[in-house]
């Protein structure tokens, strides 16, 4: 069998033009598939940035909430009701809203404002400048240093500006795990300042962040919250709920799906046609092998080896090229939202297997019907 596979390899790479065309078709298809799915994964990661950065185990919210930014204020009694549930270690309020910053040069910039519980500061960012204690000072805010930081003119500690006609003072610069989706800077302050100084509705609390005593208490907490008419999600469930909203209730998921399907069809057609042409051009060689005693199973093994070798090589080249392009794009475009995940790689690998199986099938059908007599007669 080793000798048969060695012959198959030499037949495959002997015609460098055809071999390069096969690799190009599969690599290009993998590149497009991974790029599209990575872009979707990056968008969903940024859409859930507040959930990821806050790190709360359980989020209590109004049932109408679809995403973390599409919030519905909660009455104050919800916080007390959640704190009274058995199994709750602690529960704190969180404010998520928006504001309009007036910069020193007179420009205006929308911002996302997150108000942390005054006592615990649950969900605070890691600071690279300033002290976290200074957040309790007058008009104090912490700015997040991410790809949107420059839109506030990269303010250092001590910078003053206005937020909704109220004075704001930058007392710290923080970093978070994920940037936001909508391209606006993020500011952190205390819950009391966010709800007192910024315009709001009758209710000011956006979410209740809950820490359970044990993992086993989570189902009971969710059940009790549901009995009050509200909804509780774990961190992972809230991220998935946000992702489902953008996937099925907006055009993002549909567009990404169509582009991925088109990439798959392109790879399938190019590789299938090129591989079939390769088989036809080497039909006499397969007939000669069959004439000197090669079994049908050995010829099938040759075809499967050639298709698998081409598919895996093209997959590796496509993923590598995609990673290089994403890294280069992020260096030049900080707002570029794309990330390669294991799910993306697994999906692309599954599609490559389908492409490989299709190419193998059309090759095997042609080779199995070879009659040595016809080859030598021609």
Q: What does the alpha-carbon distance between residue 342 and residue 183 come to, in Å, rounded to a whole number?
A: 26
pLDDT of residue 201: 65
pLDDT of residue 188: 94
pLDDT of residue 82: 93
Structure tokens at 209: 């962040």
Beta-strand pair 166-175/126-130:
antiparallel
Q: Which residue has the higher pLDDT, 370 or 58?
A: 58
**112-147, pLDDT tens digit by residue?**
899 999 999 998 999 999 999 999 988 899 999 988
Q: What does the alpha-carbon distance between residue 143 and residue 127 come to, in Å, rounded to a whole number?
A: 9
Task: Please determine, for residue 374, whether its predicted confidence score (pLDDT) is greater than 60.
Answer: no
**13-57, pLDDT tens digit by residue?**
777 777 787 788 788 888 888 888 888 888 888 888 888 888 889
- The percent of residues in the chain predicted with pLDDT above 90, rounded, is 24
- Name the least confident of 89-98, 283-292, 353-362: 283-292
- Name the least confident of 147-156, 209-218, 230-239, 330-339: 330-339
Q: Which residue has the higher pLDDT, 146 or 58?
A: 58
pTM here is 0.74
Nearest to 144 by CA among 52, 6, 38, 13: 52
φ, ψ for residue 184, nearest 5 deg:
-120, 145
Task: Please determine, for residue 372, whether its predicted confidence score (pLDDT) is greater than 70.
Answer: no
pLDDT of residue 43: 81
| Average pLDDT of the residues in 70-75 | 85
Model confidence at 174, pLDDT cuts 50, 70, 90, reads very high
pLDDT of residue 219: 92
**148-167, pLDDT tens digit by residue?**
888 888 889 999 888 888 88
Q: Which residue has the higher pLDDT, 147 or 85?
A: 85
Q: Is residue 58 within 8 Å of residue 187, measured between CB atoms?
A: no
> How many residues in the chain?
378
pLDDT of residue 231: 93
Task: Please determine, for residue 4, whether its predicted confidence score (pLDDT) is greater than 70.
Answer: yes
pLDDT of residue 200: 65
User: Where would I find the H helices in 15-143?
Assistant: 16-47, 49-54, 77-83
- Name the least confident of 237-251, 312-326, 354-368: 354-368
pLDDT of residue 209: 93
């Amino acid at each position: 069998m080793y000798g048969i596979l060695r012959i198959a390899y030499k037949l495959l790479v002997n015609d460098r033009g055809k071999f390069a065309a096969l690799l190009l078709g599969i690599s290009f298809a993998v590149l497009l598939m991974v790029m599209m799915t990575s872009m979707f994964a990056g968008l969903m990661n940024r859409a859930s940035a507040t959930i990821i950065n806050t790190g709360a185990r359980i989020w209590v919210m109004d049932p109408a909430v679809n995403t973390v930014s599409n919030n519905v204020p909660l009455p104050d009694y919800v916080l007390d009701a959640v704190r009274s549930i058995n199994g709750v270690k602690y529960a704190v309020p969180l404010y998520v809203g928006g504001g309009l910053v007036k910069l020193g040069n007179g420009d205006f910039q929308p911002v996302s404002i997150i108000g942390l519980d005054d006592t615990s500061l649950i969900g605070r960012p890691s600071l690279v400048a300033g002290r976290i204690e200074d957040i309790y000072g007058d008009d104090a805010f912490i700015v997040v240093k991410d790809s949107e930081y420059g839109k506030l003119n990269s303010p250092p500690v001590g910078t003053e500006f206005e937020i909704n006609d109220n004075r704001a003072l930058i007392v710290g610069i923080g970093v978070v795990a994920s940037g936001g989706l909508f391209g606006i800077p993020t500011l952190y302050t205390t819950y009391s300042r966010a709800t007192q100084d910024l315009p709001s509705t009758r209710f000011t609390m956006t979410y209740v962040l809950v820490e359970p005593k044990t993992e086993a208490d989570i189902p009971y907490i969710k059940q009790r919250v549901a009995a009050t008419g509200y909804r509780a999600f774990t961190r992972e469930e809230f991220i998935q709920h946000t992702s489902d909203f953008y996937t099925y209730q907006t055009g993002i998921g549909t567009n990404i799906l169509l582009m991925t399907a088109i990439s798959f069809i392109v790879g399938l057609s190019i590789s299938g046609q090129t591989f079939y042409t390769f088989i036809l051009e080497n039909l006499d060689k397969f007939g000669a092998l069959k004439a000197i005693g090669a079994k049908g199973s050995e010829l099938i093994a040759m075809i499967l080896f050639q298709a698998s070798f081409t598919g895996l090589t093209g997959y590796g080249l496509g993923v590598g090229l995609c990673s290089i392009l994403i890294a280069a794009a992020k260096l030049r475009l900080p707002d570029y939202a794309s990330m390669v995940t294991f799910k993306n790689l697994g999906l692309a690998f599954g599609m490559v297997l389908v492409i490989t199986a299709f190419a193998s099938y059309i090759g095997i059908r042609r080779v199995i019907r070879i009659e040595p007599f016809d080859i030598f007669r021609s």
